[in-house]
Structure 1
Amino acid sequence: MWHLTLAHVRAHRSRFALTLLAVVLGVTFVAGSLVLTDTSQRLFEDQFRTATAGVDLTVRDAAAFDSAMGVEVERDPLPATLLDDVRAVPGVADAAASAAGQGLLKVDGEALVPAGASLLASWSPAPYGAFEIRTGHAPTADGEVVLDVATARTYGLAVGDRVTVQADTTETLTVVGLAGFGAEDGLANTTMALVALPTAQRLLDLGDQVTQVQAVAADGVAPADLQAAVAAELGSDYDVATAQDTLAAGAAAARSRLAMIRVMLLSMAGAALLVGGFLIANTFAIVIAQRARELALLRAAGATARQLRRSVLGEAAVIGLAGSALGTALGVAAAYGLRGMAGAFGVALPDGGLVVAPRTVLVSVAIGVVVTVLGALGPARKAAKVAPIEAMRESAAVPARRGRVVTGVVAATVAVAAVGSALAGAPVAVVAAGAVAALVALTLLGPVLAPGLARVVGRPLDAAGLTGRLARESAARAPRRTAATTTALAIGLTLITFMTVVGASVKASLAGTYEEVVRADLVIESARAEMLGGLSHEIHHAVEEVLGVAVVSRMRYGHWKDAGATSALTAVDPATLGKVADVDMVAGSLADLAAGGIVLAEGQAAARGLGVGDALTMTFARTGDQQLPVVGIIDDGDAQALATGFLIAMDTYAQHFTEDVDASLLVGFADGADAQATKAAVTAALEAYPTAAVRDLAEAVAARASAVDQILGMVTVLLLLAVAIALLGITNTLALSIVERTREIGLLRAIGTTRRQVRWMVRWEAVLVAALAVVIGVGLGAGLGAATVRALSGADPVPVAWPLDRLLLVVALTAVGGLVAGLLPARRAARLDVLQAVAAQ
């Protein structure tokens, strides 16, 4: 049977060509996603490994946790005397201090703004520093700076050029050297300026303080033993970490940053494979039906049902293995494209050679083979159950089994109930259950509903004349084939519609809430959208001095640990916020924040059972566990406009955070001030701060919407792969159906139907299948999207936005795609020889 299986695959390879392509595309996506995230993780780890090579211990100010949401927490500087204290510990061979922070580079007044960070650090020779001089010499005196090779190459800089470094203070320095970061030319998406320690301390306004001390163990002293000795000497105010600990912390932060994109990519890959699974199942179902006589002869010749089942599954395994191997190989190349696409949508990932782990190959191949075999499982069981004498007869469409229909109706009822309950306020988990039930119902009831839907949806094809009517009836006569092909495309359209509706609703909600709450004339934010802000603390002073500005209210963000989970908070100025925002307090007063404490969003307070006068336990990186009294409850919508459900005062923020950068400045104009002139004056006053974006309220709203658009755009592009696979399914199904309908097409040609009419009959059938998928997919996606928006909106229902322009574009593209998908099968049908077709069995 194994030889027969291989022979059949070889003999009918054209039947499986598009199925193989579907497996290739799905596995390519999986492999590319794994290669990309593994590569990014390895490159990040290599950076941390290079940075700690040769150093045994790193001493920094103590913190309750190292990073939050992928962002390294900022620590207090260290006293200058700490270096001598570390050197005095027995077992320390040598130690060195360094200083590092943010430092923007400018050339001829123009800022060099990378996609990532602009860093400034003191130069440290090996083994304390990871940078090595490639050209020129190290910075040893004031007025000297070394740049990384990547920055110099990107911006056309060389030794001898003059650059301005803007940190807490600003100085113009001479480039005396170019350095590489280990084997690399620099850090990804980052500019690096290296200066002498006194220069770094002056630029970062540290006085004689430093940011860290690194130590090397004496010969024969284990790093762990030295760590214990240094920690005992310095006390609990300092964090003493081995190089291995530092590497692990950095790798954990990198994994946190990559977690979202890994989940997103693999989720989209799963959607593509799900759609591919329908294509595979449909292909094998058609092929098995076409091989009925052949299978009957095998049974009559002595083949058992088990042997036939194994033969069909063997064919699937061969196709799955071949497609998976090719898809895995293509996935390596696809990782480059995925990295470029992520960068185009604002997700910066490090450049470097790709990492193809054995796990990636094994997982990709296994997924491809398993999906293909599972797709063929139903047709294989059907082939094995058919009796020899039954398989030899001409068979019409097999009626749907009663149990299948009953199960489908139950699943449909559950789906409708889940969506309805979500619209009435049920949680989002109910929507997820409803989505699964809808998929089950669509799969089981598709063959039952397909004939009626095909005739109703295909009614407009009557305008195309005979070819349109024939296409409609052909789709209705093959309900299983039509349903399976439609379902595959409908799944992709459901996901795209779902994301479009949810994204548009989120955008509309953000815009509406922000505009309702914030009434500032200007909003100043970082153009780089840093998570914690990125605006120098000096900016608000510069804006306050502009003629026509009446008030400047500052906002900052921070991270804290909430029972092990990371949450964000917003720091505001309670004295000025009310002048530029309409804040609706449910209980307590925003002004009470000035005395310390916290204001909670209504939903957060209800979830925790807290009210005014209670205390919330919060863990801060710098100060550890703290009890903050609840002084007020704010409306959920207003809290959303201020970014988080936890509000503290700027003074409270300063007690628990070292970071000294603002996230937003809400600017209010004086009565009678000219809006355009004042905005221009503010922009001019901030020329020295090129990363500060000055926006009016409409522009600020648009900037928030653009962040949603970036995510939605990337997901939509990825989901288009699933739609492309589904369109391949239309091509494949119609091409295989031509074999079944050879005699029918021959008779049509014999009674006078032209080649052109045959071509259009097949094309219209492809368009009809696409139209059915549009009706089901767009309808289902819209319903699930509306239910999800309602479930996520909490007590105050968020209006569902219907982006009709995008949905109509999806409909149009799908119709065109269906027409294109029918071109090859139509050409094949039209080219059939009339006499041979009429004589076909």
Structure 2
Amino acid sequence: MLRIALRTLRSRWTTFTGSFVALSLGTALLAVMGLTLAASLDAPERAPERFAAAPVVVKGQDTLRVPTPIGDRAQPLAHPHPVPPATVAALRDLGPVTEDRSFAVRAEDGPADLVGHAWSSAAFALYEITSGRAPRTAEEVVVSGDWADPGQWIRTDHGALRVVGTAAADNGGVGDGGFENAVFYDDARAARLAPVSRQLVVDADPAAVREAVRGSGAQVLTGNARRYADADPERDTEALTALNALFGTAGGVTAFVSVFVVASTFAFTVAQRSREFGVLRMAGATPGQLRQLVLAEAVVVGVLASATGCALGAYGAPRLAARVVDGGLAPVWFRIGGHTWPYHLAFWTGLLVALGGVVAASWRAGRIGPVQALREASVDTGTLTRGRLLCGAGLLLTAVLTLVLALAGTPGELLHRKTYVVRPMLLITAVALLAPVVVRPLTRLLTWLPARLPGAGGMLVRENAAAGVRRTAAIAAPVLVTVALAGSLLGAVATLNEARATETRQRTTADHVITPAGDTGFGARTLRALRAIPGAEVSATSSSAVYVLEDGVALVRSDARAVDPHALAATARLPLAAGRLSDLDDGSIVVNEEWERHTVGDRVRVRLGDGTPRTLRIAAVMTTGTGGNGVYVTPANAPGAVVDRVEVAVAAGADAEAVAAALRKAVAAEGGRVHTADGWVRATYPETDRTARLGYALVLGIALLYTAISLVNTMVMATSDRIRELAVLRLAGATPWQVLRLLGAEALTVVAVGALLGLLVALLNLGGMWVSLRLLSVRSPIVMPWDTVGAAAVACAVLAVTAAVVPAAHTVWRGRAVASAGVRE
């Protein structure tokens, strides 16, 4: 059988080209994914940056640890503790102590990520003056990078400053500007701008330092551990995790679409070769031998394609790694190593995909009888086998049952990324398997009007597409995949974003929302000025967190806002399921329905944002919503939190324009921004992060690429099988242009069938999400990305028409169709 399979592949190479290309690209992407994962697992520990030359760094307590029966559970504190004053005094007895002062800076025409420091800490990051001198007065600064020059005045949220020097770090980092864009102030000005220091440098023996801080909760960092004192020390780990998630999702979609394309292609191939298999049966071949033949063809294609894919992966992985580093999606040190296991994984997965995609087709080939060699019919029969019907119905029933169970139990699960990425694949497979049931009636519906127009073209399109059910289903399948994925994935993201924005709009009754320039929040002076504005009802709130131990073993963090309940009532309308906001006081909390305990009047044991344990009474309960409702406490239960948002409602009868002008004047000194409520929602919430957008673009790009491969391959196969049919049309008097228009119209009809089925899948997925949102008390519409779905459908139509017309034109214009029919023109 292997020899026959090799000869078949040689004579029918065009038939297997699509499967070969699809498997090669799939294996290549799997190899790239594996190599990326291997490189991330071998990631080196990031070296210290800001404190590369510091002898010892002491950092205040920044982690909450709670003992449980199965071990300690830890969460980062929302409000880390400074090093206690008594501990600082003890450290000064050991050696020189330099307190770290860090704060956000906003400057006109400056980088968006400017950070301010005291000049005394510059030496610990190996900063050296490259031009000018160090700052000496409160109005002088030194900057890193080349965005400002010595002698230049810059306008910042801390007033006008004169640049007296530039500096550069000598410990590596990102680009020429170092690991950060820094602004160095003199020590006295930095202490006023950042009065609280949460870490410091001690020039003393590490053992003595550890003894001095014992019992204070502070950490002593030496060696490579000093990197934990850098800003966002886990950013490399987070970037690699996001990168792995991106390639993992792409790899999963690749495997799914590869099996889909291979299965569809081989099923159509078997249907085309029914007479050939019938001849082999007449010659004495057994059903098992025919199955072995089809499987042997798949093995040969799978081995060659997998080997080619591994070679492509080895070529593409380093180049892709360089691109993601340049794009800021991976750390600068990220490189592809010399691991071999990803190639083994990709090769054997590719081979298994080939075999998995051809199993059903091999069984169909084995059922072909000898009489099939004498069959000469153009109408497909028996297109929906019992096995296909059972598999399709089973998958569809599974999708419906899992949806109903999720809606009845935990509707919030349908809003998670893993759920709305996986569910479309289940529905796509089910609809594709059951497609023969709806292809014929759907085709007749789409061609109902054209078939009634003058001329035979519309009627021929209808009858050809309806008669060739296998051909129509095979061509419509990749269109179904592309449209369904585009509508489901991008539609899910857009629907969730709209739901979150709708939640925020409904919850905010303020006319204006004011945000600070940096992370230091608003000062008491600015808040007094805002509250003194006539006609302005002001609600100042702070970001915090609350921790609760659920089931005795899970330490769960909930984002919290510290509010004055009476002031908040004028600017917000919380989605309460029970209780009253006015009952919130220093001894109570407002929780949401996601909490383990959420009954009004119950008392819950919590830890505040700084780790302080408290027992609070539940004053009110909010609905779950999209999962971002968090909790509400009073400022007394948010120690260390600064006011980072001020909501303002204009009182009845007040001059709205005058109030807005007064608000802008009051926050101008601190660089605050005054938004309208709608403007604040649009500017700050919600957003899809860059990695997620790239991931969805990659997934849709893969789907469109496979669609192109499958469409072109299937169209070429179908056209080559219809040469005699085209000849009959020519003999009946059809001109070459009429024949080509007929094929183009057929291709458009089939693409429309696939697009409608894909749209149906997308609507079913988004419909489930919409019902979930309604159950979670969120009134938001479905958002279908019609532009993307339309672009995908148009791209499929262009590919299908081109793949149908070009090979047919080559045949028709050269008269080969008529010649093959055995008749001269």
TM-score band, normalised by shorter chain = 0.7 to 0.9
Report if the CA contact (8 A) 1:597-1:631 is conserved.
Answer: yes
- The equivalent of 1:279 in structure 2 is 261
- Check if 1:405 corresponds to 2:389: yes
Output the CA distance in 2 between the equivalents of 1:148 and 1:4.
71
The TM-score, its normalising length taken from structure 2, stands at 0.81
Output the CA distance in 1 between the equivalents of 2:115 and 2:349.
43
Output the CA distance in 1 between the equivalents of 2:118 and 2:455.
76
Matches within 5 A, 1:78-97: 78=83, 82=87, 85-86=90-91, 97=98
Output the CA distance in 2 between the equivalents of 1:187 and 1:469.
69
Output the CA distance in 2 between the equivalents of 1:363 and 1:561.
45
- State the AA in 2 paired with 1:178: A
Residue 391 of structure 1, CA deviation: 7.7
- Check if 1:455 corresponds to 2:444: yes
Q: Secondary structure at the match of 1:575?
A: helix
Match of 1:362 among 343, 352, 355: 343
Query: CA 1:182–1:421 in 2, change beyond 3 Å: closer, same or farther?
Result: closer
Q: Secondary structure at the match of 1:352?
A: coil
Output the CA distance in 2 between the equivalents of 1:123 and 1:367.
58
Residue 73 of structure 1, CA deviation: 5.1
Output the CA distance in 2 between the equivalents of 1:120 and 1:829.
71
- The equivalent of 2:480 in structure 1 is 490
Query: CA 1:361–1:88 in 2, change beyond 3 Å: closer, same or farther?
Result: farther
- Check if 1:445 corresponds to 2:438: no
Query: CA 1:488–1:761 in 2, change beyond 3 Å: closer, same or farther?
Result: same
Report if the CA contact (8 A) 2:543-2:641 is conserved.
Answer: no
Match of 1:148 among 129, 144, 153: 144
Matches within 5 A, 1:28-43: none
Output the CA distance in 2 between the equivalents of 1:827 and 1:650.
72
Q: Which consecutive unaligned segments of at least 5 residues does structure 2 have?
A: 66-72, 549-553
Match of 2:769 among 771, 776, 788: 788
Output the CA distance in 2 between the equivalents of 1:25 and 1:60.
50
Residue 277 of structure 1, CA deviation: 2.9
- The equivalent of 1:646 in structure 2 is 631
Residue 3 of structure 1, CA deviation: 7.9
Q: Secondary structure at the match of 1:623?
A: coil
Match of 1:678 among 659, 671, 680: 659
Residue 784 of structure 1, CA deviation: 2.0
Query: CA 1:330–1:17 in 2, change beyond 3 Å: closer, same or farther?
Result: farther
- Check if 1:118 corresponds to 2:115: yes
Matches within 5 A, 1:713-728: 717-721=697-701, 722-728=703-709
- The equivalent of 1:223 in structure 2 is none
- The equivalent of 1:270 in structure 2 is 252
- Check if 1:593 corresponds to 2:574: no
Query: CA 1:215–1:166 in 2, change beyond 3 Å: closer, same or farther?
Result: farther
- State the AA in 2 paired with 1:118: V
- The equivalent of 2:751 in structure 1 is 770
Query: CA 1:292–1:742 in 2, change beyond 3 Å: closer, same or farther?
Result: same
Query: CA 1:215–1:451 in 2, change beyond 3 Å: closer, same or farther?
Result: farther
Query: CA 1:616–1:689 in 2, change beyond 3 Å: closer, same or farther?
Result: same
Q: Secondary structure at the match of 2:569?
A: helix
Report if the CA contact (8 A) 1:105-1:163 is conserved.
Answer: no
Report if the CA contact (8 A) 1:418-1:434 is conserved.
Answer: no
Query: CA 1:424–1:311 in 2, change beyond 3 Å: closer, same or farther?
Result: closer
Match of 2:616 among 605, 626, 629: 629
- The equivalent of 2:102 in structure 1 is 101
Report if the CA contact (8 A) 2:134-2:164 is conserved.
Answer: no
Output the CA distance in 2 between the equivalents of 1:538 and 1:16.
74
Q: Secondary structure at the match of 2:195?
A: coil
- State the AA in 1 paired with 2:629: T
Report if the CA contact (8 A) 1:727-1:818 is conserved.
Answer: no
- State the AA in 2 paired with 1:573: D
- The equivalent of 2:551 in structure 1 is none
CA RMSD of aligned residues (A): 4.6
Output the CA distance in 2 between the equivalents of 1:651 and 1:556.
11
Structure 1 residues 344-401: Cα deviation after superposition (integer angstroms, max 9, x where no partner): xxxx646736522456953883487257424543266348736795786657646233
Output the CA distance in 2 between the equivalents of 1:661 and 1:53.
33
Match of 2:561 among 558, 562, 570: 570
Query: CA 1:588–1:189 in 2, change beyond 3 Å: closer, same or farther?
Result: farther
Q: Secondary structure at the match of 1:780?
A: helix
Match of 1:205 among 195, 215, 218: 195
Residue 405 of structure 1, CA deviation: 1.9
Query: CA 1:319–1:817 in 2, change beyond 3 Å: closer, same or farther?
Result: same
User: Which deviates more, 547-556 or 251-260?
Assistant: 251-260
Match of 2:675 among 676, 691, 695: 695
Report if the CA contact (8 A) 1:59-1:240 is conserved.
Answer: yes
Output the CA distance in 2 between the equivalents of 1:568 and 1:188.
33
Output the CA distance in 2 between the equivalents of 1:374 and 1:611.
55
Report if the CA contact (8 A) 1:147-1:177 is conserved.
Answer: yes
Q: Secondary structure at the match of 1:235?
A: coil
Query: CA 1:325–1:669 in 2, change beyond 3 Å: closer, same or farther?
Result: same
Output the CA distance in 2 between the equivalents of 1:711 and 1:392.
55
- State the AA in 1 paired with 2:80: R
Residue 445 of structure 1, CA deviation: 1.8
Structure 1 residues 21-45: Cα deviation after superposition (integer angstroms, max 9, x where no partner): 54565567667777889889999x7
User: Which deviates more, 238-247 or 442-451?
Assistant: 238-247
- State the AA in 2 paired with 1:616: V
Query: CA 1:307–1:367 in 2, change beyond 3 Å: closer, same or farther?
Result: closer
Matches within 5 A, 1:224-239: 226=207, 230=210, 234-239=214-219
Output the CA distance in 1 between the equivalents of 2:446 and 2:709.
22
Output the CA distance in 2 between the equivalents of 1:792 and 1:319.
44
Matches within 5 A, 1:6-405: 14-23=14-23, 26=26, 48-51=47-50, 53=52, 57-65=56-64, 75-78=80-83, 82=87, 85-86=90-91, 97-106=98-107, 110=108, 112-114=110-112, 116=113, 118-120=115-117, 122-124=119-121, 129-133=124-128, 135-136=130-131, 139=134, 141-142=136-137, 145-149=141-145, 152=146, 155=147, 157-163=148-154, 172-182=162-172, 184-185=174-175, 190-195=180-185, 197-206=187-196, 211-213=199-201, 226=207, 230=210, 234-245=214-225, 252=234, 254-256=236-238, 259=241, 262-263=244-245, 266-289=248-271, 306=292, 309-326=295-312, 329-330=315-316, 332-334=318-320, 349=329, 352=332, 354-358=334-338, 361-362=342-343, 365-366=346-347, 369-370=350-351, 372-374=353-355, 376-378=357-359, 381-382=362-363, 385=366, 397=380, 399=382, 400-405=384-389
Output the CA distance in 2 between the equivalents of 1:585 and 1:416.
31
- The equivalent of 1:221 in structure 2 is none
Report if the CA contact (8 A) 2:81-2:198 is conserved.
Answer: no
Output the CA distance in 1 between the equivalents of 2:135 and 2:126.
15
Matches within 5 A, 1:425-824: 427=411, 438-462=427-451, 463=453, 465-499=455-489, 501-525=491-515, 535-537=521-523, 540-541=526-527, 544=530, 547-562=533-548, 563-583=554-574, 587-601=578-592, 603-604=593-594, 607-620=595-608, 622-623=610-611, 626-636=613-623, 643-654=628-639, 658-662=640-644, 664-690=645-671, 692-703=672-683, 707=687, 717-721=697-701, 722-794=703-775, 796=777, 798-799=778-779, 801-803=781-783, 806-807=785-786, 810-811=789-790, 813-815=792-794, 817-824=796-803
Report if the CA contact (8 A) 1:559-1:620 is conserved.
Answer: yes
Report if the CA contact (8 A) 2:395-2:429 is conserved.
Answer: yes
Output the CA distance in 1 between the equivalents of 2:265 and 2:220.
62
Report if the CA contact (8 A) 1:767-1:815 is conserved.
Answer: no
The TM-score, its normalising length taken from structure 1, stands at 0.79
Report if the CA contact (8 A) 2:542-2:641 is conserved.
Answer: no
Report if the CA contact (8 A) 2:534-2:659 is conserved.
Answer: yes
Residue 553 of structure 1, CA deviation: 1.0
Query: CA 1:644–1:759 in 2, change beyond 3 Å: closer, same or farther?
Result: same
Q: Secondary structure at the match of 2:332?
A: coil
Output the CA distance in 1 between the equivalents of 2:564 and 2:36.
42
Residue 493 of structure 1, CA deviation: 2.1
Structure 1 residues 133-190: Cα deviation after superposition (integer angstroms, max 9, x where no partner): 37237847556644333xx2xx3x23454446656x9854522433354254467895
Residue 578 of structure 1, CA deviation: 1.3
Output the CA distance in 2 between the equivalents of 1:464 and 1:354.
65
Query: CA 1:598–1:831 in 2, change beyond 3 Å: closer, same or farther?
Result: same
- State the AA in 1 paired with 2:245: V
Give % identity.
Answer: 21
- State the AA in 1 paired with 2:260: F
Q: Which consecutive unaligned segments of at least 5 residues does structure 1 have?
A: 219-225
